[in-house]
Amino acid sequence: MIQELNRAENARKRLILAIVDEESDITFYELKKVVMTGGDSKPDEIETPAEAGLIGDRTIVWDPEMADFLHSMYFFGKKLDEFRLQLSLVESGYLLARKWIKIEDMGVEAFDCYAAEIDLGYVLKYSAYSDLRDSGHVVKTGFKFGTHFRVYKKFKTDAHSEYLVHAVSTDHAFSLPELSRAVRIANSVHKRMIFGYPDCDGGRVGYLEIAWIRL
């Protein structure tokens, strides 16, 4: 589908899918590339990484001050109590790579290998997560919406997230029920449905928006 969109854009055309369901009703979806900008600046550097412990598919930040700083200033992780902060694998990988946390006897490469064994989709998810974080967005789990992430434009926001983002490979084959379900859920909660994929040309992450339209 991403290849088809590239061809449409090269021809300066819109790409619209017309999907016919079992009752012969037609639903139209428009596909377009989007640039995920508009967030705050990416997190600053810090002098001393926080001690963290890896427990299965979670990392715990033990230092109370750093736990509070990461959560209150940048909305990383989930506070377990007033002292401890729990991080997901992608959050852990991001903070480890930027030397905000350190995990005993485990560098970035070793952690990435460990995470990829636990979560087969880790590499794709991490690529999208780190790109969104570096562009200043707040990125949290989108599990309850059936996607990888829900995304906010700014730090310290109490507003609703603007996007649902799901990481896919460049050659991902969308099933029609999968596509319809994702867009319908996004519409029902007033969010935009975005798919992040490896952008081979730019070496970063490309973003594809799929939206229901009337014709």
Q: Which long-range contacts (CB under 8 A, 24 or more apart) does 45-52 make?
A: 45/98, 45/99, 46/99, 46/100, 49/99, 49/100, 49/101, 49/102, 50/100, 50/101, 50/102, 51/101, 51/102, 51/104, 52/87, 52/92, 52/101, 52/102, 52/103
Which is the catalytic residue, given 152, 163, 197, 207? 152
Q: How far apart are the first and last CA of the chain?
A: 21
Order of strands across the sheet that contains 50-55: 78-79, 85-87, 58-61, 50-55, 101-103
Calpha distance 136→192 (Å, rounded): 18
Look at the alpha carbons of 139, 4, 17, 174 in this order and tell me if their dihedral is positive or negative. Answer: negative
Catalytic residue among 114, 191, 197, 207: 191
How distant is the alpha carbon of residue 148 from its chain centre? 6
Residue 191 is among the residues annotated as catalytic for this protein? yes
* Contact between 61 and 85 (Cβ < 8 Å): yes
Active site annotation includes 160: yes
Which amino acid does the sequence have at 171? D
Tell me the catalytic residues.
152, 160, 191
